[in-house]
Amino acid sequence: MASYEKTNHKKLVKQGGLNAKSGLILFLINTITAFILNPILVTYFGAYYFGIWKSIDKFLGFAGIADGKGAQALKWTIANHESKEDESKKQRFVGASLIVWFIFLPILMTIIGAIAYFSPTLIANVHPEDKGLVLTIIILLGINLIIMPLFSISESVLIGTNQGYFVNYIRMTWLILAFVITYMVVFLEFGLKELAMSIVLITVLRGISFLITVKKEVPWFGALKPTRVELKSFFKFSSWTLVWSFIARFLLGSEVIFLSILINPTVVSQYIFTSYLVITGISVAAIVSSSFNPVIGRLFGNKEYESCQHIVANLREFILAFSVFIGTVVLLLNQSFVSLWAGETLFLGSWNNLFIVLLMIELLLVRNEAFIIDISLNIKVKVLLGLGSVVLSSLFAVVGYYIIDNSISMIFMGVFLGRVPLLFFFPMMVNRMMKNKQKFGFSWKLFGYAFIILASSYLIGTEQSFNSWWILMLLGTLETILVMGFVYTLLLSSENQAFIREKFLSRIKRSKK
């Protein structure tokens, strides 16, 4: 029996690894396409219109929360019940997610309408002649928001059944097609309205491809009417998930929101380019964290707490090490990278760059714990703590900007301070879930090493500037290898070091064959 459990555990971890690998390939394609497209778009449309586009995207991202989040709740519910054989119950969960979408549809449409109505206030300093364009874009992307949850149901079932790699492969295909279509919009000299229309078309076609895949790969896929008790339970979890989705959106997009409301669209464009490498790091960490969550969810559902503790501990350590690694590289090279890529005027400065890095590290640690808490299907306390953090971040950012200093860095500092409590409370909640007596997720020694690495890289980064891609690639690669060595030695346990060495050596052996 013990042998079977060990084999099954390895199989689950292997599937989680497959999810992570396919997710990283997806991320790589996404990074390359964004790297190519962003300068093209900002050059073609200008920093002003590009900033408007990104501001609308962030505001509608918040509106999308009001779809009820039935698909997201379905993902964790299916993961939690994956080891159980009651297929009709899983179909009733799918039915419940459809009902939740329908219930929240009027609310979603109302919020989209409100954003359209108040758009002149939400995006500061918009030219009067562009108000009609802004309204059109909001309506088109609002339609996209309305239909997306329906197509997300099939994605959620694939992810919940630990087949996220299928989702990633399909996303790769459509990401490449979206890249081609976006480039054609610029090549044919169309405007933002046509760009928004192309996004709606891609959403529809991508959703159809997901539906075809899930019907082929998940034999039980279908929808049944849920019982009253099941619907009530699912709706309760979905409602809390909805509120958390607002919080998660705020965690990811608060800087853009505050810069858009308090300053102007041009500064939003500067932030988009300065934070590009950081956003890339956030995407990678989210891929790794979420890839292993179905594995942890299945083990947690079977009450295999020791196995859960082991995976969670390794995951935490990796996320911390990875966030410090990305942050260090950004502090060292971002000024040269942005200046060569998009122009020196689109870099926000070294001090703001430091705050962006600190916000990234804080966000990655908080989101990793938040992902794990979702597995318990009991997220009420997490949501309430998150709401408190949203209030604090907003208060500190706005008050700090108007009363202490009208600067971008003051906004960033306020957002950072408002999230600090989550760094302590979320790991404690996860440990309690996993029957782990440890109160905090990390040792202070690790944070001490992280501080030394980051402080050193900041001081070096402010003094260096590379004026060509060749010099940046050559010296940047050398610095990145050094950083990798420090992070590997100081922030990873001997177990994780051995794991990385084993993977590295096995890849070398494969390449020689």
Model pTM score = 0.70
Which H or E run contains 44?
Answer: helix 2-63
Q: Strand (E) positions, 51-191?
A: none
- Residue 334 pLDDT greater than 70, yes or no: yes
User: pLDDT, tens digit, for every residue of 391-427?
Assistant: 999 999 999 999 998 888 899 999 999 999 998 899 8
Cβ atoms 441, 427 nearer than 8 A:
yes
Would you place residue 197 in the very low, low, confident or very high pLDDT band (cuts 50, 70, 90)?
Answer: very high
In angstroms, the CA 90 to CA 82 distance is 9
86 burial class (0-12, 13-18, 19+ CB within 10 angstroms)? exposed
Residue 210 included in any domain: yes
10 vs 137, residue with greater confidence: 137
Residue 362 lies in a domain: no
Q: Which domain holds residue 71?
A: 44-252
pLDDT of residue 163: 72
- Asked if residue 316 belongs to a domain, the reply is no
* 114-123, 140-149, 459-468: the lowest-pLDDT one: 114-123
DSSP 312-369: HHHHHHHHHHHHHHHHHHHHHHHHHHHHHHT-GGG---HHHHHHHHHHHHHHHHHHHH
pLDDT in tens, 45-80: 887 888 888 888 878 877 777 776 677 778 767 776
The answer to whether residue 131 is domain-embedded is: yes
Q: Quick check: is 287 in a domain?
A: no
The answer to whether 43 touches 121, Cβ cutoff 8 Å, is: no
Q: What count of residues does the chain have?
A: 513
The total number of structural domains in the chain stands at 1
pLDDT tens-digit readout, 472-513: 999 999 999 999 999 999 988 887 778 777 766 666 555 555
Residue 262 counted as domain residue: no
pLDDT at 18: 62
Mean pLDDT to the nearest integer, 313-341: 89
Has residue 349 been placed in a domain? no
Please report whether residue 443 resides in a domain: no
pLDDT at residue 6 in the model: 47
Task: Summarize the chain as % helix, strand, coil (round to 5).
Answer: 85, 0, 15
SS3 at position 57: helix
Residue pLDDT, tens place only, 284-308: 777 777 666 667 777 777 777 777 7
